[in-house]
Chain A
Amino acid sequence: MRRPSSATFSRPLVSRFSLLAAAGVVALFSLHPGAQAPARPAPDATGRTLSLSTPHLTLSATVAPLQLARGGRLVLTADVTPKAGMHLYAPGARYRVVAIKLAPNSPFKLEEPVTYPKSSVYTFKPLNEDVPVYDAPFRLEAHVTLDESRPLVTPLRRPLPVTLKATFDYQACDNRYCYLPESVPLRWTITSTP
């Protein structure tokens, strides 16, 4: 097999190797942000804040209040810190913009528009294009209401918990790579008050 002609071109991974070499390869790859699977938050039935880290960012998502009365509104907040060198696309970019989305068939409804903060401008040199991005900590805020037809109590008048499932969607890039878009699942259990 020919030797790759550039450092950025690599040979195929070998199928057999010593334990020492394999450990070395694993250690090397673990340093590359793209080589790690994004962290997934553990389902959180009672906590208000979900905190997690992916190879591209850290996210702290909060919903409040955790008790909801008929006609009430929840505020879902996502505090996001892109990791060093990373940027995420902001509204106005023709790429995949960061978003909070509710799961399909959710009993909740997302009130538009999600509040986006001011972005900065990144010059994408390969296309000589100015793109709105987030490359520093920022906060998204979404208001969520419960479907009015959804029962809030059991026939025995006990509070009926409702699961709020959402995702934080993003695509991260740095000055050489764009990583595959990610959809980070978020979940809270909301208790109802009649």
Chain B
Amino acid sequence: MSAPQGGLHAQGGLKTALYILLVAAVLAVQSVTAAESFKPFKKLKALDGSQQSLADVLGRKATLVVFFFPTCPYCNAAFPEVQKIYDRYKDQGLSMVWINVLPDEEKLIAPWRAQHGYTAPVLLGDRSVANDYKLRMTPTHFLLDAKGAVLSTHAGYSAGDEKTLERDIQQALGQ
């Protein structure tokens, strides 16, 4: 008697496993079709003293949000290229904002921007902003569409990453 019972249990287990896999597959497909919205950040101070929210910085077609701090080595490697991208596409519907995550480096930002000729807008965040977006490294980029949905994310920098970023931005701008 025990053998058939064991067989029934095995059949039931198999059915349950198949059901779980089916549900997982359906949910996975659903998730691919629904982009996640970028969590709106609280109003942050800009260098001109104004307070800005995500809605204030969203671009007509796309927005690049970059978390950084001025003495971050890979930010300093990446930002000359990111600035070029900003210069190239800012009049074509791309908005960009760099959010500092270390308040103790705020005083460095103005001379750092002047030294490197950076003009991309900067907002002053703090460690709580980094925690909100679960940042572990800088720079971390979020490319958003016109409604604020995340199109892609990227952390760190290697030579050539800017080409991938620019290609994604061109697609977001419909080019």
Contacts and interface: CB of A to CB of B under 8 A. Distances in A.
Given A8-B155, A34-B155, A126-B74, 13 more contacts: A1-B35, A2-B152, A8-B161, A9-B154, A12-B153, A14-B27, A18-B21, A20-B20, A126-B73, A178-B137, A178-B138, A180-B127, A180-B137
Nearest to A33: B136
A96 interface: yes
B157 interface: yes
Interface residues of A, number: 36
Interface string A52-90: 000000000000000000000000000000000000000
A4 B138 CA distance: 19
B161 A13 contact: no
A11 B149 CA distance: 11
A14 B153 contact: no
Contacts of B153: 9-10, 12
Interface stretch (B44-52, B53-61, B92-100, B163-171): B163-171
Interface string A11-37: 111111111110000000000001100
7 contacts: A4-B168, A8-B164, A35-B136, A124-B77, A126-B158, A178-B156, A180-B130
Indicate the size class of the contact surface on chain B: 35 or more
Given A1-B149, A8-B161, A126-B159, A95 B71 contact: yes
A178 B102 CA distance: 14
Interface in B122-175: 127, 130, 135-138, 149-159, 161, 164, 167-168, 171
Interface of B: 20-21, 23-24, 27-28, 30-36, 71-78, 101-102, 127, 130, 135-138, 149-159, 161, 164, 167-168, 171
A135 to B, nearest CB: 14
B36 A180 contact: no
A34 B167 CA distance: 27
Nearest to A36: B136
Contacts of B151: 1-2
A176 interface: yes
Given A1-B32, A126-B74, A127-B77, A10 B137 contact: no
Contacts of A18: 20-21, 23-24, 27-28
A34 B74 CA distance: 15
Central interface residue in B20, B30, B71, B168, by most chain A CB within 10 Å: B71
Contact of B31 (A4, A5, A16): A16
A18 B29 CA distance: 12
A14 B31 contact: yes
